[in-house]
Structures are given as C-alpha cells and as structure tokens.
C-alpha cells in the first residue's frame, strides 16, 4: 500500500540499541567449530564442554537447570497452570541427587528421596551440608529405581560424606534394585 502525497508519514521509530556484549563464559561459541563451520550460538551443551565440563556433566547441568526453571515457573503460575501444562504426566517428585563441593566440584554425598524439593531445603538448613550444591541426578518415583540408582551414583563417586553403602551387599533385593536402575538408561 502506498502513502498518498501529503499524508503524514507516521511516527519515527527510535534506532535499535546495539546487541549486548557476549558474556565471557559464552565466548568459546564465537570460535569456529572443529569442522571449520560456525557453532550453533544456542548450543549450551557445547559451551559447557568448551569450559571444561565432560559431555555427561554438561547434559546433567542443563537438565537440572531446565528442570529447576520449569518447576519454578509452574510454582509461580499456580496449581491451575501446572495442572493444565502437566496434565496426567506430572514430573516425578522423587529421585536421586548429589551434593557437590562448589570449589572442587567433588561429589561429597549422594542420596535418594521421595521429594527432591523437600530434601533440597533440608540440606540447605543443615550446617554441615549447606555449603554444597544440591544437584538432581535422576527423577523417578519408583522406589526400586531410586534404590538402585543411589547405589550406582555412590559407586561412581565414592563420596566422603556417605557413611554407609546405599544397599547392603547382603540385601536379598540388591540385584533387583540395580536392575531397575539399569532400566533407567543414561
């Protein structure tokens, strides 16, 4: 559509502000990919790997942060919104977790619970555990999967603050729990 001669041209829009500076943590994304092509600027996993995280840790960090963000958004929106968004597929409340030393990145303790948010708050009030970062390892409300996964994570990290084995070697259901955890996949 063409404007008529003498018609008012409309409001003058202000110039767009310059794009924000790239945060230093994302600077590795500005470097070319190993194949020579540009990297996807939205590839957070690759950015974390470039910063020294293993691919597995990068994936877990992203999963944990996305889960935290989604849970907070649903809490902020209220129960009606969460029911409409999640419907019958509600996110499991329980699962396994690690407590990680923020200075050394060492896993100090592992655990399982039927309510991860409650456990996060409990550890936050404990003077011995408060300094450590609470990280969700896996979400599941299945008791056998929780038991088995807790043992797998314990074996992986051998955390110094765990006082006992999660599953006693003499427990007759030990293999059942470990098989349930193996069925969760990585």
Segment 89-131, tens digit of pLDDT: 578 899 999 999 999 999 999 999 999 999 999 999 999 999 9
Full residue range of the structural domain in which residue 96 is found:
92-186
Per-residue pLDDT tens, the chain, 186 aa: give them. Answer: 444 555 555 555 566 565 555 555 555 545 554 555 545 555 777 777 777 777 777 777 777 777 777 666 655 554 444 444 555 457 889 999 999 999 999 999 999 999 999 999 999 999 999 999 999 999 999 999 999 999 999 999 999 999 999 999 999 999 999 999 998 876
Residues 128 and 172 in one domain: yes
Task: Check residue 82 and give its pLDDT.
Answer: 42
Residue 28 in contact with residue 58, Cβ under 8 Å? Answer: no
Total domains, the chain:
2
Residues 119 and 160 in one domain: yes
Residues 133 and 55 in one domain: no
Dihedral sign of CA atoms 121, 122, 126, 131 in order? negative
Residue 1 lies in a domain: no
Task: Check residue 149 and give its pLDDT.
Answer: 96
d(CA 84, CA 39): 36
Nearest C-alpha neighbor of 57 from the set 47, 68, 49, 65:
49
d(CA 180, CA 46): 31
Residue 149 in contact with residue 138, Cβ under 8 Å? Answer: yes
d(CA 136, CA 99): 9
Residues 167 and 139 in one domain: yes
Alpha helices in the chain (DSSP H): 44-50, 55-77, 79-86, 116-125, 143-157, 174-182
Residues 72 and 113 in one domain: no
pTM over 0.75: no
Residue the block writes with tokens 């029911």: 83
Task: Check residue 84 and give its pLDDT.
Answer: 47
Both tokens of residue 134? Answer: 């609470």
Three-class DSSP category at 13: coil
Task: Check residue 128 and give its pLDDT.
Answer: 94
Both tokens of residue 164? Answer: 């006992």
Residues 85 and 101 in one domain: no
């Amino acid at each position: 559509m063409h404007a008529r001669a003498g018609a008012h041209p409309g409001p003058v829009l202000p110039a767009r502000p310059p794009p924000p500076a790239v945060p230093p943590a994302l600077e590795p994304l500005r470097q070319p990919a190993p194949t020579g092509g540009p990297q996807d600027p939205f590839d957070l996993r690759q950015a974390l790997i470039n910063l020294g995280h293993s691919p597995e840790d990068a994936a877990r960090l992203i999963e944990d942060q996305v889960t935290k963000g989604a849970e907070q958004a649903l809490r902020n929106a209220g129960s009606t919104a969460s029911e409409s968004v999640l419907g019958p597929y509600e996110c499991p409340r329980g699962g396994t977790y690690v407590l990680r030393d923020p200075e050394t990145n060492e896993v100090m303790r592992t655990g399982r619970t039927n309510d991860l948010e409650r456990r996060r708050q409990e550890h936050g009030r404990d003077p011995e555990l408060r300094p450590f970062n609470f990280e969700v390892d896996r979400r599941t409300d299945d008791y056998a999967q929780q038991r088995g996964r807790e043992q797998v994570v314990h074996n992986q990290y051998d955390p110094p603050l765990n006082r006992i084995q999660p599953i006693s070697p003499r427990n007759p259901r030990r293999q059942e729990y470990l098989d349930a955890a193996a069925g969760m996949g990585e």
